[in-house]
Structure 1
Amino acid sequence: MLDFNAPEFVVVAIVALIFIGPKDLPKAMRFVGKWVGKARAVARQFRSGFDNMVREAELAELEKQWAEENARIMSEHPPAALPAPEAPEVHHVAEDAAPVMVEQPAFVEDTPAVSAPAPKPKRARKPAAAAAPEVADEAAAKPAPKPRAPRKKAAPPAEAAE
């Protein structure tokens, strides 16, 4: 691929500075950088696609080897014949027979009853004046703040006399 040494890079930079000029050099470098980035992206995409194809081919080869090995093992050790399952007993019930009742669970009356928890009692609030009379007196003793007068706008600076 492209391999630049430091002296070669200096020569390319000097030639670019002479032919392109210092004014348009940043614009040209951005243009070249953009195209180099696009080329790297295409190369990266190509490489990842190629790697995926190789990985899929390796997996197919491994699956083929596994199937061959599995067939060899199965041919050497055939599975033993399993015994047939026993048929369940079938009970025939006459159509006019009474239904059979199963044992019902016993209910015990000693079970404690579950109830909702009792609500918490609410505390009574004291009136504000009764709670702190000295605070209420201090608030009444303070005078109300005075309203402020609007600020005056600063006058424009006086022009220098000629």
Structure 2
Amino acid sequence: MFDIGATELLVIAIVAIIVIGPKDMPLALRTAGRWIGKIRRVSAHFRTGIDAMVREAEMEDMEMQWRDQNARIMAQHPQQEMQPLEEGAASAESRSEPGDASEDSLKSDTNDDQPGLPLGKPPAG
């Protein structure tokens, strides 16, 4: 980010030793470390906020695209053309194959109190 090379760091260290002095250098470095940590935390918080705003904007764009596409589909297929599937017919068609038992015979073989258990057999206890 700042593109500081080794020579620049050496110059900064020599100036810091001359100005601050070797005795107070550990305290100064500790203070500088704390300030750098605070700056990093604030920048991370700021970056998180920006990322959240970008995600919200993307979600709004996707929602607008979904609404437009939904409106286009609904215009192509008006409501009177679309009929819901009948519950019994759809489930029976999806489950039954040639030679399988009918839906009525499947229902009569099960106990309503304990789904999945055939009548006449006690539950395993």
**Shared fold (TM-score greater than 0.5)?**
yes
The one-letter code sitting in structure 1 at the alignment partner of 2:41 is A
Structure 2 match to 1:63: 63
> Any idea what the Cα deviations from partners look like across 1:41-87, whole Å, max 9, x if unmatched?
1011101101100110010011001000001001101233659xxxx
The one-letter code sitting in structure 2 at the alignment partner of 1:8 is E
Compute the RMSD of aligned alpha carbons.
1.9
CA distance in 1, matches of 2:55, 2:82: 40
CA distance in 2, matches of 1:82, 1:70: 17
The one-letter code sitting in structure 2 at the alignment partner of 1:23 is K
The one-letter code sitting in structure 1 at the alignment partner of 2:16 is A
Q: Are the structure 2 counterparts of residues 81 and 10 from structure 1 closer, same or farther at C-alpha, using a change threshold of 3 Å? A: closer
CA distance in 2, matches of 1:62, 1:32: 45
Say which SS state the counterpart of residue 34 (structure 1) adopts: helix
1:34 deviates by: 0.3
Structure 2 match to 1:10: 10
Structure 2 match to 1:48: 48
> Any idea what the Cα deviations from partners look like across 1:12-46, whole Å, max 9, x if unmatched?
00111111111100000000010011011101110
> Is the counterpart of residue 32 in structure 1 residue 32 in structure 2?
yes
> Any idea what the Cα deviations from partners look like across 1:69-119, whole Å, max 9, x if unmatched?
001001101233659xxxxxxxxxxxxxxxxxxxxxxxxxxxxxxxxxxxx
Uncovered stretches (5+) of structure 1, i.e. residues with no partner? 84-162
Query: Which entry has the higher C-alpha Rg, 1 or 2?
Result: 1
> Is the counterpart of residue 23 in structure 1 residue 23 in structure 2?
yes
Structure 1 match to 2:89: none
CA distance in 2, matches of 1:25, 1:41: 24
Uncovered stretches (5+) of structure 2, i.e. residues with no partner? 85-125
Task: Work out which structure has the larger RCO, using CA pairs closer than 8 Å and 6 or more positions apart in sequence.
Answer: 2
What are the equivalent positions in structure 2 for 1:151-162 lying under 5 Å apart? none
The one-letter code sitting in structure 1 at the alignment partner of 2:11 is V
Normalised by the size of structure 2, how large is the TM-score?
A: 0.62
Task: Give runs of ≥4 in structure 1 deviating > 6 Å.
Answer: none
